Structure 1
């Protein structure tokens, strides 16, 4: 189980941090497109969490709810740290002063942005799976 949540946590953290860095880059160099970039980024991030968790639900992975819960809690702060590092390196030399906000409010938002679509994906994916039990033949 540890490997499962670790992969999901770091995968989603990298995706969220990359989206934050790209959004910051667009906001600096093309402010008119910042709103559209934010909408597209959130849609892609929600879609990624929902799709990945739906596949887990469809494949009936063990402890999938617990795995996604832990992954979202870990991905929040990791994503915050990576986004501050990414913005400092690639965009605007963001300083250590941004780290507090990224590890509190930003981490909580990221965790919710993973957990809510993942819950929906697990529900939908669980409904998509075919029933493996053999159907009883009608008597007669």
Structure 2
């Protein structure tokens, strides 16, 4: 997630350099792709029944926040405008918080939708419920009269 968010940020910054008037549309499309990717991925995790998916996505949001901040500054320094180390502080505070929320909120929605889809899929899969087969009682061992218990 950190690499995907950093690539989107660097690509929109590079586009803004060459087309400053069309930057808003590209930023909105990049944001929609990022949100859609997280929501779809987390919905698939919930639908398949991944154990601890909520915790995994929470940790992914934290790692993506900090990781994308560092990768965005490095990417802009190499590909866009030679951004310096001075931009790292704001990328690791406000930028990281925004990215973490940009992962956490759609992931939560995706997990909710994925669980609902899984429940409705398993409830209406068309297969009849398996009937419980009555168990025969196990035979008791034969005890001899007068035996000690």
Which residue pairs with 1:118 in the alignment?
Answer: 107
Aligned-residue offset at 1:32: 1.2
Alpha-carbon shift at residue 19 of structure 1 (Å)? 0.3
CA distance in 2, matches of 1:99, 1:111: 16
Q: Are 2:13 and 1:24 equivalent residues in the alignment?
A: yes
Tell me the alpha carbon deviations over residues 67-91 of structure 1, each in whole angstroms, 9 at most, x when there is no partner: 0001101110100000000000000
Secondary structure, counterpart of 2:38 in structure 1: helix
Q: Give the TM-score taking structure 2 as reference length.
A: 0.81
SS in 2 for 1:94: coil
**Secondary structure at 1:53 match in 2:** helix
When the two structures are superposed, what TM-score results if normalisation uses the length of structure 1?
0.86
Aligned pairs for 1:43-82 (under 5 A) are 43-82=32-71
Q: Give the aligned length.
A: 126
Query: Who is 2:95 aligned against?
Result: 106
Structure 2, unaligned stretches of length 5 or more?
132-149
Q: Name which of 26, 29, 35 aligns with 2:24.
A: 35
Q: Deviations over 1:95-129 (max 9, x none)?
A: 00100000000000000000000000000011111
Root-mean-square deviation (CA), in Å?
1.6
The answer for the alignment partner of 1:3 in structure 2 is none
Equivalence for 1:96: 85
Query: Unaligned 5+ residue runs, structure 1?
Result: 1-11
Post-superposition Cα deviations, 1:20-64, rounded to whole Å, max 9, x if no partner, equal 000100111110110001100110000000000000010000000
Q: In the alignment, which residue of structure 2 is the partner of 1:4? A: none
Which consecutive aligned stretches of 4+ in structure 1 deviate over 3 angstroms post-superposition? Answer: none
Using the TM superposition, give the Cα deviation of residue 131 of structure 1 relative to its aligned residue in structure 2, in angstroms.
2.7
Determine helix, strand or coil for the equivalent of 1:93.
coil
